[in-house]
Structure formats: C-alpha cells, structure tokens
C-alpha cells in the first residue's frame, strides 16, 4: 500500500479517485504543529533551537496517519507546491520518524492542478524534500516568533491598549497611518474648469479651455470665481474654429494571467471581495480541480494550457482575435522556486463553474487567462484644437475610438480611481476638419477643489505592499485580517481607517524601533529570506544578523520608565496632538484653567491628553482629538431640573463626557451623544429622562420605548429591538414609524432577527455532507456548522485563526459522536465535604455600594501618575 498525504479532505477525496486501489490518501488538515505560544520556543543562545507542539485538535488525525504509515510500503508527501506545503510535508515526516512509523521509501510529489492527468504525471516524477524551502520556512517562522514575542511584552508594559506587533503587520499598519496623516495635512485648493459644449453634424461634444489670454492653463490657474467668470465670458463671446486635428493610433496589450496579488486586487475592485475571502474561494476552486494553484508569483502558463486557450479563442471568435504567435509572459518573482504557473482554469473548454462567489471568481480567472492570449486592442485617439479670432484663447477636445476590441471583448482590468479627464478621453468626437466652426451650445464654469489622497482599499494596499517588496502575496490576506482583528484599523466603504490604537502603536514603533518599521529594511529582509529559499544564504546567519541588533534595542526600551516613554511620544506627536492655532496662541495651553499645559498621559485605559495642573484641573481630551477642546473641562453645572430642582452636572470620564443628576446610589447618569451639537439644559433633561415611552403596540399591547444604548439609539418592544439613525429620532419617532421599524427589524433588519445572523467566515462545502461550512458567533462562544452539525471551537483556538481544514475536523468529530443525549449532562455527584468544623452561616453578600455603574465617562485622570501606570 502506498500512503499519500495532502492538506485537505476535499483534495484527498479527489486524488484517491484518480490514483486507484493501491493508494490510500489521507489529509493532514493543514499544518499539524507549530511553535508553542510561550517564551523559549525559539532559543537564539542554543543556535536557534526550536520546539514544536502538536495542535490539540490534530491528535486524532496524526494518529490515523501514523497508523496507516506503519503498514505502508511507500510514503508520498503531496502537499501544496510552495514553501508552506513543503513545511507541512517536513512536519509530517518528522512526526512519523519520531513515532517510529516512517516508511523506508519517502518521496515528495507536487502538482499545480488537481486533474487526473496532472496528478498521475506528477506521481511518475517524485523528488526529495527541498531543504532550501524548509530552511526558508524555519527562518520566517523563527523570525516572526522572535519579533512578536520580544516586542509584544514591551508594548504591553509601555503602551496600554497595544495587543501585538508583527514584522509585516506593523509595516502595513504604518502605510495606513501615514496615509491618514497625509489626509489630515492636506489643504484643499479651489480651482475652476471652463468647458464649452459644441456641436458638429448633430453630434455634441465637450471642449475644455486650455489657454486663456495667451497663458497656458494649469490645473490651478483659474483659482477663484472672478477669473473663472472672465474666462467663461471670453469663451462665450469668441468664435472658435478648428486649427489642428491630431489623430494617432494606439495599441493596448492584454494583461498577463493572475498572480496571487493581482487576483486579490481585481476581486476587490470588481467583486468587492476581501483578500481573505478571495483566497478561501480560490482554495475551494483549486481543490475542486477547477483552477491551478492559487498561491503564486508567476505569470507564465504551461505550453499545453496556452494551446488550449488559443483553441478556445479560435472556436469562439474570428481569426483576427488570435495573434499569430502565442504570448509569453515573464515572471517578476524574485525567487523562481516559488514562482509557479499563473492562476488559470484547468480546462479552457469550461467557461462556467460552480455557483455564487465560486462562479463569480472562476469567471474572473477564466476571462483573464483567456484574454492574456488574445490579440491587442486597436484604438484611435483624436485631439482637436480650436482657437478664437485673437488666437489667445484655446479650447481642446479629446476622444478615442476602439477600432478593434481584441482582448477587450473579453476582459478589461479595473482601476482603483479614475484620473482627471478620463471621461473626456473616452468621448466620441464627430468628424472635424481644419477650418470648421462648431456651433456653441453652451459654456459652463464649474468649481472644484483638490482632493486628498484616497485612503487605501484592500486592492490598493496589496498593490502598494507588493510595489515596496514587503511581505509576500500569499501572506497579505492574513496580515490585513490581523490588523482588523486587533482593532488597529477599521474599514468603511471598503477603505482602511487607522484607529487610535493603531496610530499610537505606529508612533511608538517609529520613535523607538524606527529601523524595524522602515520599508527598505522590511523589503530587504524579504530578499534575504528569498535568498535562503533559493539556496544562496544560510538561514541561521540571517537570524543571527537580525537578532544581534534587535534584542539589545528591545532591552533598551524595556528598561525605560513609563514617564520617559510618555515624554518621548509627547514630543514625537506634538505636531499631531497640538497643531498651531489660527490665532497664534499656545496650542498646549489648557482651555479649562488657562494656567496649565497640556501633554500626553497614559492610564489604565489608554492614552489621553491632560492638564499639568491635575488634580486641581481635571481637563482631559481623547488621544484621537488633535487640537480640539476635547471631551473634557471642569465638572460644570448645566442648571437645575425644571421639575425636581436637582442640579444637572456635565462630567468627564475615561470614556468621554456624561451627565449626572443626584449622587450616590440614587444618582441618574446618561451618556452625551456626539450628534446633538451644543449641550444645553433642555438636551440634558431629555437625555436623563430616557427611556422614552412611545405607547402600547397596537397588536400586542406591550409598551414600545426609545432609548440610547451601548451601540447607539434604538427602539425596544417585548424583547425585540430596532436601530434608530440618530439621537433626534429617539425623541421624534411616533407610533406608526416605530411599529414599521420593529417589523422591519423582525424580518431581518435588527438584532432580534437571530435567523438572519451573518457568519463570521465561510469555508465552502463540507466534503461529506455538502453543506456550506460557516463560522458563527453563538451565545456561548464561536462555533462552526455545516447546517446539520454544530461544533464549538476549542478554548485555545481563536476564531480568526481557524482554517477550513480545522473546521471540517471539528464538524466531522462532532458528527461521529452522535447527537447529545436528552436531558443534558448528568449532574456530578456531590463531593463529600472534608471534615471541617461547622462554619458559621454567612450572611448574603451585599452588593458593593458606591460603585454605581459608570457610563461613558468618569474621571479619566484617575490614574494620571506616569510612573504608577505603565505607558
């Protein structure tokens, strides 16, 4: 018997069908072991010795592999054809050797696609494990471990709220934060465009004013309304004739087939997929034998695939769409060993596959690969110049016509953002000749403002990381997911925004570890790791060079007092936290007491701005409110409640401002929403009166109330909830509107609709049941389900780290145990009490009195002493 090891059960099932009865194919379900997440797993002082630990949920699967290996004549390691695949094969071999279950004949087989022909051919050409790729894996794993496990304790002790730092993750975060800084520093500039609408032969077209009063117009030349009005009047009064017609042919060549990076970018632009979702769907397509391996830097296709693509083109299109010679693309990958064939369909005769997201991604891959072998597109670009009688004012019209679509008939690459003038360039122009005087239909002067650089989307961030040589495309999805999971960034409308914690972490690393978040250093480290996988460098030498500088630097920062770190960051962030004021006054002057100076402080709940005159002055401001008057100020009385006469006070706490009426247990408190504008006594009375009763529901008779909770304004009725859009709606929503909103929420729009809960992740169909595997947030913790069987995640498994293979194992093992017995678990027999003297009966524990629940706010300056509180 010959034992074949692959990663996933879906892949195992397909391959076993191809190989026949002499082969037994088992899945490892991904990686089987890793470095234990504790100190000492990598020991630089012992020549970088590494300890490995079997994943808790892989015990059963490894035992099954070991049992099968004992009776096998030959072990074939057929994991994925990249560095991670090589590493999994190495781990399996090492584990079997340790258990004395390793067959004498051990071979490595790789294939780029899961088709019968590819798999059977690969089995005829086995090789040894590639030690260079294994060394590259060891170097990367050790490097990431040393970086994270050395730096993270520094962060925990010196930077409240920081959760972790990573070699590539921190640099990707820096890109997002720097873009945020660029946007904040950006000052929009006004400019105007003057565009005439002209007509010739019944066809209207636009023409832009490009020269005014003999001066060539740049983008900002018409900088205010007055000069724009003069320019518009000059165009309106002038008689413009065609002076030049410049027609030039253009060719556009097709794009190469997808690499991992370009697939992630295009799927984000055209399908709205995140990088991680793109890779999950692509993995499903690969394991189903629909596409080639999806982790690759290569753009070349196999000669047989090129022939198949050309045959498909010839069958579908006329001969003009097929170039005389096949197109050959050269890979830009720095390491040829990791540059596999491009991502393409395994069969060009199959133009559709699957359903849902699988079908959409397959269509993208198919069309891109097909277009890569098609003829170039032929276009004609025409530029028409028109001048008035003085020759001092000039209009220009541009347009282009597609003469022959070529590959554009199948595929056109998406773009992140349109450039200025794109719409005009694509306009159709009528036939024009020198001397023609088109009819002027109208002239418009339009005001514009320069725009800041756009925030990164997943597509543009992946593209930028690849341009800088930071990380590798196969790791981008995981890197971006970590930034989201750690709450260092958030996404809105598919754009990355830096959170306060991410900005503070980046500033800390730039100030104390500038070398290790530098783009050139990180890119250079990637080159060194590529040299290891290419056999040009020794992996331990690379680690030694890194460790000898990194360890002393981290020790140096760890020895600093929290107050020294705070002072350094206060100075480093001065321009951001205390920007110059328009009136020229001191930006650090405390707006509350006017005597103290503001500075960055650290507390148990994160960074904030506080007055130097604490505790006399309690002014505080959030870290993320640069230059503002903050949430803080002295506790101030807004007035007395019109009915009870009790004073209503505005206070400031660590979570922001809040209202308080009364004191002690009986005190009534309420948050101050951000969308109410100026806080007045009337607003304070309204907010403290919540929840507001709207009245009994016309169907149930139960009361409907409106209030403001942790997640914003909402309606409540009989245990069901519906969101409101603003604080104003809390006080304005009537019965009809409330009933409608609650009904909409019950049908899937609100928190009450549990059936409409969105999965945290999806992993494709289960290999046995066929149901879609989903990761869900349950009442008692995260769980995975295939629609039939639910399996709770182990306590040591983070939801964001769960792989498809692990999800399959959890569901399969849970299903094997069968349904839970009715009546639940048996109660444990009561333990016999140890012989003790009978204790006096304790009185019921009283609730702590004065710890009234603190809403969003309460003395942020509770822990303002720098050296007492780590920062």
Q: What DSSP letter does each residue of 780-812 carry, written as one string?
A: TEEEEE-SS-EEEPPTT--GGG--HHHHHHHHH
Check pLDDT > 50 for residue 128: yes
Summarize pLDDT for 733-758 with one digit per residue, the tens: 888 889 888 888 877 544 333 334 56
The catalytic site residues sit at 293
Count CA atoms within 13 Å of residue 732 on its CB side.
6
Provide the token pair at 414.
């998406």
Q: Average pLDDT, stretch 217-230?
A: 93
**What is the pLDDT at residue 163?**
76
CA distance 123 to 109: 6
CA 483 to CA 503: how far, in whole Å? Answer: 12
Per-residue pLDDT, 363: 95
Q: Please state, in angstroms and rounded to a whole number, the distance separating the CA atoms of residues 620 and 522.
A: 38
* Residue 183, CB-side half-sphere exposure with 13 Å CA sphere: 13
Residues 32, 411: Cα–Cα separation, whole Å:
41
pLDDT at 174 over 90: yes
- Is residue 610 a contact partner of residue 599, using CB atoms and an 8 Å limit? yes
pLDDT at 117 over 60: yes
The length of the chain is 871
With a cut of 60, say whether residue 834 has pLDDT above it.
no
Q: Are 134 and 89 in contact (CB under 8 A)?
A: no
Please report the pLDDT score of residue 817 as a whole number. Answer: 72
For the segment 847-853, the average pLDDT, to the nearest whole number, is 40
| Alpha carbon 709 to chain centroid, angstroms | 28
Bridge partner list, 199: 204, 439
Structure tokens at 153: 């304790």
The torsion of the CA quartet 127, 132, 135, 139, rounded to 10 degrees, works out to -140
- Placement of tokens 């707006």 in the chain: 591
Mean pLDDT calculated for residue range 633-647: 74
Q: What is the pLDDT of residues 45-72, one digit of tens each?
A: 999 999 999 988 888 899 999 999 999 9
Q: How would residue 334 be classed by pLDDT, with cut points 50, 70 and 90?
A: low
pLDDT, tens only, 658-689: 888 887 777 888 888 877 766 778 888 889 99
Q: Which of 388-397, 539-548, 704-713, 775-784 has the lowest mean pLDDT?
A: 775-784
* Of the candidates 661, 626, 631, 617, the residue with the CA atom closest to the CA atom of residue 856: 631
- Provide the 10 A C-beta neighbour count for residue 294: 24
Query: Which pLDDT value is given to residue 819?
Result: 58
Exposed e or buried b per residue across 481-497, where buried means at least 16 C-beta atoms within 10 angstroms of its C-beta: bbbbebebbebeeebbb
Output the six-digit token pair for 365.
């891959």
| Structure token digits, residue 30 | 């991904």
User: What was the pLDDT predicted at 415?
Assistant: 66
Q: How far is it, in rounded angstroms, from Cα 303 to Cα 310?
A: 11
Residue 552 has pLDDT above 90, yes or no: yes
Pairing assessment for the beta strands 790-792 and 190-200 based on DSSP bridges: unpaired
pLDDT of residue 556: 93
């Amino acid at each position: 018997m010959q034992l074949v090891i692959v990663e996933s059960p879906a892949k195992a099932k397909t391959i076993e069908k191809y190989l026949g009865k002499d082969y037994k194919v088992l899945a490892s379900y991904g990686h089987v072991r890793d470095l234990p997440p504790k100190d000492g797993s990598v020991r630089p002082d012992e020549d970088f010795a590494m300890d490995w630990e079997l994943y808790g949920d892989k015990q059963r699967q490894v035992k099954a592999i070991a049992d099968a290996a004992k009776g096998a004549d030959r072990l074939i390691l057929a994991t994925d054809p990249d560095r991670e695949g090589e590493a999994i094969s190495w781990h399996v071999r090492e584990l079997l050797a340790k258990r004395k279950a390793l067959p004498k004949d051990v071979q490595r087989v790789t294939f780029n696609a899961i088709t019968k022909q590819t798999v059977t051919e690969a089995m005829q050409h086995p090789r040894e494990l590639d030690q260079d790729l294994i060394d590259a894996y060891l170097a990367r794993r050790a490097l990431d471990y040393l970086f994270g496990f050395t730096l993270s304790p520094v962060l925990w002790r010196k930077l409240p709220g920081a959760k972790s730092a990573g070699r590539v993750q921190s640099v990707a975060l820096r890109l997002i934060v720097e873009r945020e800084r660029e946007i904040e520093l950006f000052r929009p500039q006004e400019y105007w465009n003057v565009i005439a609408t002209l007509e010739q032969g019944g066809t209207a077209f636009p023409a832009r004013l490009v020269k005014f009063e003999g001066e060539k117009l740049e983008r900002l030349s018409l900088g205010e309304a007055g000069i724009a009005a003069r320019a518009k009047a000059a165009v309106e009064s002038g008689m413009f004739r065609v002076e030049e017609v410049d027609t030039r042919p253009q060719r556009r060549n097709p794009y190469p087939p997808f690499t991992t990076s370009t697939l992630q970018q295009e799927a984000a632009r055209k399908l709205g997929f995140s990088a991680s979702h793109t890779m999950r769907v692509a993995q499903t397509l690969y394991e189903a034998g629909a596409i080639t391996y999806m982790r690759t830097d290569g753009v070349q296709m196999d000669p047989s695939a090129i022939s198949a693509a050309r045959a498909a083109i010839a069958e579908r299109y006329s001969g003009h769409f097929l170039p005389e010679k096949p197109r050959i693309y050269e890979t830009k990958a720095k390491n040829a060993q990791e540059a596999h064939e491009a991502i393409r369909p395994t069969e060009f005769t199959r133009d559709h596959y699957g359903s849902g997201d699988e079908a959409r991604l397959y269509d993208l891959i198919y069309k891109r690969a097909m277009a890569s072998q098609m003829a170039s597109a032929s276009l004609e670009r025409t530029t028409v110049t028109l001048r008035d009688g003085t020759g001092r004012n000039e209009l220009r019209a541009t347009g282009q016509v597609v003469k022959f679509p070529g590959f554009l008939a199948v595929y056109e690459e998406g773009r992140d953002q349109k450039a200025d003038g794109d719409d005009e360039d694509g306009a159709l122009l009528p036939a024009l000749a020198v001397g023609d005087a088109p009819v002027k239909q109208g002239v418009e002067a339009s005001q514009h403002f320069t725009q800041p650089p756009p925030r990164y989307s997943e597509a543009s961030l992946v593209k930028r990381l690849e341009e800088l040589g930071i990380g590798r495309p196969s790791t981008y999805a995981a890197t971006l997911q970590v930034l989201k999971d750690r709450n260092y960034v958030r996404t809105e409308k598919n754009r990355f925004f830096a959170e306060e914690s991410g900005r503070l972490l980046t500033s800390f690393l730039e100030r104390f570890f500038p070398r290790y978040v530098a783009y050139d250093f990180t890119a250079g480290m990637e080159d060194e790791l590529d040299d290891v996988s290419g056999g040009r460098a020794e992996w331990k030498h690379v680690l030694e060079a890194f460790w000898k500088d990194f360890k002393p630097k981290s020790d140096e920062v760890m020895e600093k007092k929290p107050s020294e770190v705070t002072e350094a960051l206060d100075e480093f962030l001065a321009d951001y936290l205390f920007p110059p004021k328009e009136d020229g006054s001191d930006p650090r002057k405390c707006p509350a007491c006017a005597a103290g100076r503001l500075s960055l402080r650290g507390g148990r709940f994160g960074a904030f701005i506080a007055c130097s005159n604490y505790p006399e002055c309690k002014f505080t401001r959030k870290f993320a409110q640069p230059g503002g008057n903050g949430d803080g100020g002295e506790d101030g009385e807004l007035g007395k409640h019109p009915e009870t006469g009790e004073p209503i006070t505005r206070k400031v706490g660590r979570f922001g401002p809040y209202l308080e009426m009364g004191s002690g247990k009986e005190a009534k408190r309420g948050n101050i929403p951000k969308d109410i504008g100026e806080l007045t006594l009337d607003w304070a009375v309204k907010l403290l009166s919540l929840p507001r009763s709207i009245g009994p529901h016309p169907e149930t008779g139960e009361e409907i109330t409106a209030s403001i909770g942790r997640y914003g304004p909402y309606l409540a009725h009989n245990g069901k909830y519906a969101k409101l859009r603003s604080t104003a709606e809390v006080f304005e929503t009537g019965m009809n509107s409330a009933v409608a909103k609650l009904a909409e929420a019950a049908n899937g729009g609100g928190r009450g609709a549990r059936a409409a809960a969105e999965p945290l992740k999806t992993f494709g169909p289960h290999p046995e049941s066929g149901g879609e595997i989903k990761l869900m947030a349950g009442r008692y913790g995260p769980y995975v389900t295939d629609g039939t069987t639910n399996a709770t995640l182990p306590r040591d498994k983070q939801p964001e780290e769960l792989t498809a293979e692990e999800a399959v194992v959890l569901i399969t093992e849970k299903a094997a145990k069968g349904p839970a017995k009715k009546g639940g678990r048996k109660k444990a027999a009561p333990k016999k009490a140890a012989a003790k003297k009978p204790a006096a009966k304790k009185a019921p524990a009283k609730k702590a009195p004065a710890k009234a629940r603190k809403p969003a706010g309460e003395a942020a300056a509770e822990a303002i002493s720098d050296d007492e509180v780590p920062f």
